[in-house]
Structure 1
Amino acid sequence: MGKRIVILGAGFGGLACATMLRKNIGQEHRIIIVDRKKEFMMGLVKLWVLNGTRKLEDSQTSLASLNAKGIEYLNNEVTTIQVAKDRVEVKEHGWLEYDYLVVALGTELAPERIEGFVGRGFNLYDPKQVPQLREKLLALKQGRVVISIMGGPYKCPPAPYEAAMMISDMLVGNGTRGAIELEVFAPSPIALPVAGPKVSSDVVDMIGRYGIRFSPNCKPKLVRDGEIEFENGRRERYDVLVGIPPHRGPDVVKNSGLAAGEWIPVDRQTLRTQFENVFAIGDVTEIKIGQLAMPKAGIFAEGEAKVVAQEIIDEISGRQPQVTYNGQGYCYVEAGNRMAGYVEADFYNTSGPVFTLDAPSEKYFEKKHDFERTRLREWLL
């Protein structure tokens, strides 16, 4: 009898898992992926829309192409997860039973948690707002641009610092950089808590070379017209406010019994939840390593997805699963002017998490673009 594998979410984790499964198990086994969005776009593309090298409408790839690859795509919303009955409810579709369930639903943005932010600031992580942000920045002749990380954890930890450097590069090209201040505010005592003090210091030095200031321990409390107030009592003026809003776990996950608080706890090597044949991968999970937690970033979701896919492949084939997740990942930190740095992380190192940051180069800029191309080709094209 064929098995039915249901994957919730068509992001990095869901697509990588479905693709690997389809290549390695027979057609008698059904792979069903459910997502309420119609297109896939990597989060990193938002920064290319911001700097004008990419159009939003040219950067989205239809998920309907999954069907031609033998992966059943349901463009709909998951409303209920019943792990006790091995089934999920899909809006306008009904109940969907599974033999294996992979939860890859990611995070949701919660800008409303910061009083006054909605309608006054730009949400950097909302693709629809990025073109408007670009227009506002290019129209600004003088003043102050504030980039505020409004809570943690958040997706793609280096992105606010990348945005700051790319905005600086844009303003240089616009001839207005000398009349515009740029500052990044973070709620944490260091720039990148997930990467440790050394890489955080290197990132602060990197943005400093662009004349961008960094202020730690500044968690926003309230946004007014032209002013942001932080919980420590500090108030700062802004002409353009760019926010990275708080993130939250999907309600359907929190209502399912899978989550502990906002996120799903999993075995850090197998990505199994406490429920039989139920896995969770990517941003919807929380994997603690001492005081640190695995970052919410696509490269980690992809690595976890491949481990889960191999476990399911092995079980279906009658083998005892042997593969385990290694806790390793990397990302490219774009710095404007066709340059990008490279961060490498090993969270499961026996001596404790290890991180390195290579200086920006054109080589890493090209590799970042290739990162997008290769995955789109493998998953959807």
Structure 2
Amino acid sequence: MRIVVLGAGFGGLACATALRKGLGQDHRIIIVDRKKSFMMGLVKLWILAGNRRLAESQTPLAGLDAKGIEYVNDEVTRIDAAAKRIHAKDGGWIDYDYLVVALGAEPAPEKIEGFAGRGFNLYDAAQVEPLRDRLLALKKGRVAVSIMGMPYKCPPAPYEAAMIINDMLEKNGTRGGVEVELFAPSPIALPVAGPKVSADVVEMINKYNIHFSPNCKPKAVRDGEIEFDGGRREKFDVLVGIPPHKSPAVIKESGLAQGEWIPVDKSTLKTQFENVYAVGDVTEIKLGQLAMPKAGIFAEGQAKVVAQEIVGEITGKQATSGYDGQGFCFVEVGGRMAGYVQADFYNAQGPLFRLEQPSPVHYEEKHDFERSRIKEWLL
């Protein structure tokens, strides 16, 4: 059998690794990604804080070959689910028996008029070090952190960034002259987590003198000013933006998506096409009026279930359990401290959450989280 995995992010790497462990070497596992290296999104916050450099945070994907996973450094340009094949830009057509789509979500800063060149894209790793330099050079003024559209990857990240910026400015001796405000397009901080956790997060950032402004959806960015729907305008000296997200163009062109994202079975992650699965940020799993958040921990959990499904079909050992909708995340607050949120999105009575207060222990657990995955997947 030939199993092709598209994307070497959380979902793709976790799935390929689990498939390799579950299948003999006579079954080929091929992973296709246009990137040459892997870096967790959470590392961008450590770069912002000055604990990491971008250059030292990249792990080469070439290490996959030594693990018995064929790594193809190429860009997927077409998915032909009817013919069970995908097309790579340089390598041409690749046939598959099973396909796992884990291409993620892409920031779309172009959707906000005037943002490019006037603000820093927090989700672009190349812009984080220049953002840090700009913040440290600011002696007085206003920092605006703006969530510019939903959904976006890693819902707590903008709040973490605001608290890390506070910590940076405190250490820099300039916090007293700099105002920090966070703008969100939603009526509460984290709609996916509900009103209680949202209120806790707002209370958390308020402790650091960070103001929260809900119902602020950006319309356009001008020199030193951001304009929101409804006409509200706010001045800034530094704008930290979390752009709207979109699915890769190849997903829409393939017919896999309905709207922006790929609908999947909430338990098996199967798509409407035979032997085609999708995991992680590129998918949409409806939970009433909301959808599963886009975060690496959910992609990883889904990927392991998909691997179990495929291995079960090939070997005749039926998968024992489906995806359970559970996950967790760390909420970094600066000062080498992090909180911890545990979530159960498939709870029968509705999504269930538990928030543990920031501690040095959770901060270290967040670093262990990165180290353990890198070791398992690529080293």
Please give the range of the TM-score, normalised by the shorter of the 2 chains. over 0.9
* Residue 351 of structure 1 pairs with residue 357 of structure 2: no
Contact 1:342 1:364 in 2 (8 A): yes
User: Which of 293, 296, 299 is the equivalent residue of 1:295?
Assistant: 293
User: Which of 217, 228, 232 is the equivalent residue of 1:230?
Assistant: 228
CA offsets, 1:284-339, max 9 Å, x none? 00001111210000000000000000011111101333320000000000000010
SS in 2 for 1:64: helix
SS in 2 for 1:375: helix
TM-score by length of 2: 0.99
SS in 2 for 1:85: coil
- Partner Cα distance (1:163, 1:85) in 2: 45
Partner of 1:372: 370
- Partner Cα distance (2:252, 2:191) in 1: 25
- Partner Cα distance (2:289, 2:347) in 1: 14
- Partner Cα distance (1:321, 1:360) in 2: 37
Contact 1:190 1:197 in 2 (8 A): yes
Partner of 2:12: 14
Partner of 2:165: 167
- Partner Cα distance (1:297, 1:213) in 2: 25
CA offsets, 1:72-95, max 9 Å, x none? 000000000000000000111011
Partner of 2:242: 244
- Partner Cα distance (2:172, 2:354) in 1: 33
CA offsets, 1:188-214, max 9 Å, x none? 000001111000000000000000000
Question: What amino acid does structure 2 have at the position aligned with 1:344?
Answer: Q
Identity %: 73
CA offsets, 1:41-99, max 9 Å, x none? 00000000001000100000000000011000000000000000000001110110000
Partner of 2:70: 72
| Correspondence list, 1:153-302, <5 A | 153-302=151-300
- Partner Cα distance (1:18, 1:197) in 2: 37
CA offsets, 1:149-198, max 9 Å, x none? 00000000000000000000000000000000000000000000111100
* Superposed displacement of residue 104, structure 1: 0.1
Q: How many residues align?
A: 379
SS in 2 for 1:48: helix
- Partner Cα distance (1:337, 1:221) in 2: 34
User: Which of 38, 41, 46 is the equivalent residue of 1:40?
Assistant: 38
Partner of 1:148: 146
Q: Which runs of 5+ in 1 are unaligned?
A: none
Partner of 2:28: 30
- Partner Cα distance (1:127, 1:121) in 2: 14
Partner of 1:137: 135
CA offsets, 1:1-38, max 9 Å, x none? xx000000000000000001111110000000000000
- Partner Cα distance (1:145, 1:108) in 2: 25
SS in 1 for 2:114: coil
Question: What amino acid does structure 2 have at the position aligned with 1:113?
Answer: K
Contact 1:347 1:354 in 2 (8 A): yes
CA offsets, 1:84-120, max 9 Å, x none? 0000001110110000000000011110100000000
- Partner Cα distance (1:311, 1:82) in 2: 22
Residue range with higher mean Cα deviation, 348-357 or 57-66: 348-357
| Correspondence list, 1:65-104, <5 A | 65-104=63-102
Contact 1:311 1:323 in 2 (8 A): no
- Partner Cα distance (2:22, 2:226) in 1: 52
SS in 2 for 1:84: coil
